[in-house]
């Protein structure tokens, strides 16, 4: 019987399987950051153990870092302490750290791919749920808790139960103004925030194959928002071309060997999936969320649902979300006033995202009352934006280009959205308080966010594009 | 670090009849700055518990603030623990005195994190969950891990829950995955040699 892409990689990484229990899965690459690693280091030290394979670990500081004046010490004492603890732990255990001030520093899920650390066919873990991003290269990549970080430190292995297999096929051409972020928000609206729990999700179909690596990463990034264990896309020429020549990509004969393996990574024609979903790309319009979980999304021109239209037991949660958001059930989301625009996070902070936004805003200016933050995903993205003159375009538009980090994706560092304010955000979570206590988040694509920056309201970007071309 | 051992839990419960409780609600990001595992319990459900982030003004209608609700079992709506992988969520629940969470559906990573910390996630049917929520505040539940069953004591209604036998053994004996993995180091090294 044929195998799925996931099964091929999975089987290759099994060290052994416990009877009626989980399998021991070997981990190729382990990425760490300052928030979920300190207790794992402490655990290892307490047990008197050494790190088993420190060379397979790469560290960065991203969650707690400020995105202005990064050359100055971190103001907040506890944040500074976490970052300092990471520096100390990495030094003690011989781990490569791309910390603040390093030219490779950035959000962990942006730098892995950018540096060529992320490669097809690998198993990759990180104490961070958006590790699913790396699946865009055809790897098994998933988020783990701190106890599991400790296990990988100690043994380079994890005990894992094989997830079920789901395939989501997207076929056809995308409409104007629709980006890969809209694809994933559309899938989420369709299958809900728990629609893929227990599954590894493979994204397939012509629409997916036509996406760039950056756009594929955006889709895989939000797999966790559907509850999936991981998301993955079969590697192809687009993938190989992206990886080739990057800092840590294999070279020479190693490259040829790697490529031979990578070319075997696809789901066989007769592979079986436990669930399969088909989506027509033409049905997808620019999307936006109106509620407090990422599955609560609609097309920008649609109306927010009415409580009565929902299952009776879903109504209390819905009412709670609407109250938190200050949004009327049944109302139009289009025209909703926006206070902040955040373009960044591991979902949409890559150079391609910044280019798209720059192209669109060139010669335009933001609405007066709106504050616009553009936060590049890494030092390299920031550098490239400056080299390409994108920084100037943003400056003229009144957009603030900040320094790399997780920033306003989560209310942990200095960048927070004030209570009650509306923020259109290219990040991945609109949970209550995610961007700061009381902050109201509307998730959207970089283009939809940029359009809101210009008009100060939720806007259908495809109309602006039509008028603009 | 060997964990809490779990066998039979008999207790009243705290009801949290909300769906899709994400880990950002269980413990908001601004409280993740600790470098140890302790002390997260006081910030469990922080933003649902207090007005304006002020411990002096607890929200009266939130179950954790209502003295009639207590016990070592938390009962929550479906898709509990979705979102971020932060293990701090499991630490906060444990630190606040819970040893089991009951829901009709758990997010994957949370489930693993809970198991790794000796907090038992018990998945029940929607119907059974509604049955629990309809009980008064003095009702008790009995969760038997060896039997893999949960019982509403007042009515005797009982349901079986799933847990893989390896994890069950670990919880009953207080073993860690890491103990197991350390014991098979040789297999791991062999694997590496074969795949180099
Ligand atoms: S950008 Fe947001 S989602 Fe991504 S790693 Fe940082 S905090 Fe997590």
Alpha carbons A271 and A269: distance in angstroms, whole number: 6
Whether A287-465 and A5-277 are alike in CATH topology: the answer is: yes
**Coil, strand or helix: which one is B123?**
strand
Question: Considering only residues 279 to 298 of chain A, which have any Cβ-Cβ distance to chain B shorter than 8 Å?
Answer: 293
Q: What is the mean pLDDT of residues A283-299?
A: 97
- Beta bridge partner(s), residue A276: A167
| Residue B1, pLDDT score | 43
Residue among A109, A128, A176 at smallest CA distance from A445: A176
ipTM over 0.85: yes
Amino acid B175: pLDDT: 87
Taking an 8 Å cut-off on Cβ atoms, the answer to whether A127 and B116 are in contact is no
For chain A, what are the domain ranges?
Answer: 5-277, 287-465
Q: For residue B37, list chain A residues with Cβ-Cβ distance below 8 A.
A: 39, 146
Q: Band the pLDDT of A159: cuts 50, 70, 90.
A: very high
Total-model pTM: 0.94
The chain A residue lying nearest B183, using CA atoms, is A155
Angle value at C-alpha B90, between B85 and B96, nearest 5 degrees: 150
C-alpha of residue A277 to centroid of ligand 1, in Å: 27
Distance from CA of A387 to the nearest CA of B (A): 34
> Residue range A149-176: average pLDDT?
97
Report percent pLDDT > 70 for chain A. 99
Q: Is A397 exposed, middle or buried (0-12, 13-18, 19+ CB in 10 A)?
A: buried
Q: B85, A320: Cβ pair inside 8 Å?
A: no
Residues of chain B short of pLDDT 50, as ranges, are 1-2
**Structural contact between residues A170 and A63, judged by C-beta atoms closer than 8 angstroms:** no
Cα–Cα dist B50/B54, whole Å: 6
> pLDDT value at position A469?
44
Establish whether residue A425 lines the binding site of ligand 1, counting it when its CB lies within 6 angstroms of any ligand atom: no
DSSP string of A151-216, one letter each residue: HHHHHSEEEEPPPEEEEEEEESPPPTT--HHHHHHHHHHHH-TTTTTTEEEEEESHHHHTS-HHHH
Q: How many Å apart are CA B38 and CA B89, to the nearest integer?
A: 12
CATH of A287-465, one of 3.90.470.10, 3.30.499.10, 3.40.50.1370, 3.50.50.60: 3.30.499.10
**Given CB atoms, is A38 within the 8 Å cutoff of chain B?**
yes
For A380, other C-beta atoms within 10 Å of its C-beta total: 21
List domains and CATH numbers for chain B.
Answer: 8-194 (3.20.19.10)
Residues 23-82 in B contacting A (C-alpha not used; CB under 8 Å): 24-25, 28-30, 32-37, 47, 53, 77-79, 82
Sign, Cα dihedral of B167, B170, B175, B181: negative
State the architecture of A5-277 in CATH terms.
Answer: 2-Layer Sandwich (3.30)
Q: Which residues of A268-286 are buried (b: 16+ CB within 10 A; e: fewer)?
A: eeebebeeebebebeebbb
Region of residue A330 (phi > 0: left; psi between -120 and 50: alpha; otherwise: beta): left
Does residue A68 contact residue A39 with C-beta atoms inside 8 Å?
no
- Confidence band, pLDDT 50/70/90 cuts, at residue A467: low
Determine if ligand 1 sits within 6 Å of the CB of residue A31: no
Q: For residue range A267-289, list pLDDT tens digits in order.
A: 999 999 999 999 999 999 999 99
pLDDT tens-digit series, residues A108-121: 999 999 999 999 99
Q: Nearest residue on chain B to A36, judged by CA atoms?
A: B86
B166 to A159: CB separation less than 8 angstroms, yes or no? yes
């Amino acid at each position: 019987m044929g195998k799925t892409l996931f099964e091929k990689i999975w089987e290759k990484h099994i060290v052994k399987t416990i009877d009626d229990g989980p399998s021991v899965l070997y981990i190729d690459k382990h990425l760490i950051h300052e928030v979920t690693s300190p207790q794992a280091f402490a655990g290892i030290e307490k047990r008197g153990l050494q790190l088993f394979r420190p060379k397979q670990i790469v560290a960065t500081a991203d969650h707690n870092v400020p995105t202005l004046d990064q050359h100055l010490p971190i103001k907040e004492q506890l944040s500074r302490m976490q970052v300092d603890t990471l520096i100390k732990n990495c030094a003690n255990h011989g781990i490569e750290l791309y910390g603040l001030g390093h030219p490779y520093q950035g959000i962990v899920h942006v730098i892995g791919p950018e540096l060529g650390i992320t490669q097809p066919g690998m198993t990759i873990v990180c104490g961070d749920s958006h590790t699913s991003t790396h699946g865009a290269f055809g790897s098994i990549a998933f988020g783990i808790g701190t106890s599991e970080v400790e296990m990988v430190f100690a043994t380079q292995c994890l005990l894992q139960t094989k997830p079920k297999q789901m395939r989501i096929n997207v076929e056809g051409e995308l409409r104007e103004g629709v980006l890969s972020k809209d694809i994933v928000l559309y899938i989420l609206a369709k299958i809900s925030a728990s629609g893929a729990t227990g599954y590894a999700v493979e994204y397939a179909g012509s629409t997916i194959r036509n996406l760039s690596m950056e756009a594929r990463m955006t889709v895989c990034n939000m797999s966790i928002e559907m509850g999936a264990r991981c998301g993955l896309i079969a590697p192809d020429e687009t993938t190989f071309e992206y990886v080739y020549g990057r800092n840590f990509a294999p070279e020479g004969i190693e490259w040829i060997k790697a490529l031979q393996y990578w070319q075997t990574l696809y789901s066989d024609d007769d592979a079986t999936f436990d669930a399969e979903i088909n989506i027509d790309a033409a049905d997808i319009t620019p999307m936006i969320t109106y509620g407090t979980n990422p599955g609560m999304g609609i097309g920008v021109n649609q109306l927010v649902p009415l409580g009565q239209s929902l299952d009776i037991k879903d109504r209390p949660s819905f009412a709670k979300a609407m109250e938190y958001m200050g949004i009327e059930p049944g109302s139009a989301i289009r025209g909703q006033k926006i206070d902040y625009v955040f373009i960044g996070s591991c979902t949409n902070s890559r150079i391609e995202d910044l280019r798209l936004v720059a192209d669109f805003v060139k010669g335009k200016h933001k609405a007066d009352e709106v504050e616009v933050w553009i936060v590049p995903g890494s030092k390299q993205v920031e550098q490239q934006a400056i080299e390409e003159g994108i920084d100037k375009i943003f400056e003229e538009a009144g957009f603030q280009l900040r320094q790399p980090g997780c920033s306003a994706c989560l209310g942990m560092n200095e960048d927070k959205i004030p209570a009650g304010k509306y923020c259109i955000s290219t990040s991945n979570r609109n949970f209550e308080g995610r961007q700061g206590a009381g902050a109201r988040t509307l998730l959207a694509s970089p283009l939809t966010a940029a359009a809101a920056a210009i008009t100060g309201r939720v806007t259908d970007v495809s109309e602006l594009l039509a008028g603009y071309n | 670090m060997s964990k809490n051992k779990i066998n039979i839990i008999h207790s009243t419960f705290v009801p949290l009849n909300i769906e899709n409780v994400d880990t950002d609600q269980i413990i908001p990001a601004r409280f993740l700055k600790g470098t140890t595992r302790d002390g997260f319990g006081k910030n469990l459900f922080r933003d649902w518990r207090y007005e304006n982030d002020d411990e002096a003004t607890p929200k009266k209608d939130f179950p954790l603030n209502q003295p009639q609700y207590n016990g070592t079992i938390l009962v929550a709506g479906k898709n509990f623990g979705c979102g971020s992988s932060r293990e701090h969520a499991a630490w906060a629940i444990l630190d606040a005195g819970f040893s089991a969470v009951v829901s009709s559906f758990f997010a994957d990573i949370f489930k693993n994190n809970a198991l790794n910390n000796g907090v038992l996630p018990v998945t029940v049917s929607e119907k059974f969950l509604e049955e629990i929520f309809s009980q008064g505040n003095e009702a008790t539940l009995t969760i038997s891990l060896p039997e893999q069953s949960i019982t509403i004591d007042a009515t005797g209604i009982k349901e079986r829950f799933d847990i893989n036998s390896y994890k069950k053994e670990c919880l009953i004996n207080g073993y860690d995955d890491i103990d197991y993995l350390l014991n098979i180091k040789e297999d791991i090294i062999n694997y590496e040699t074969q795949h180099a």
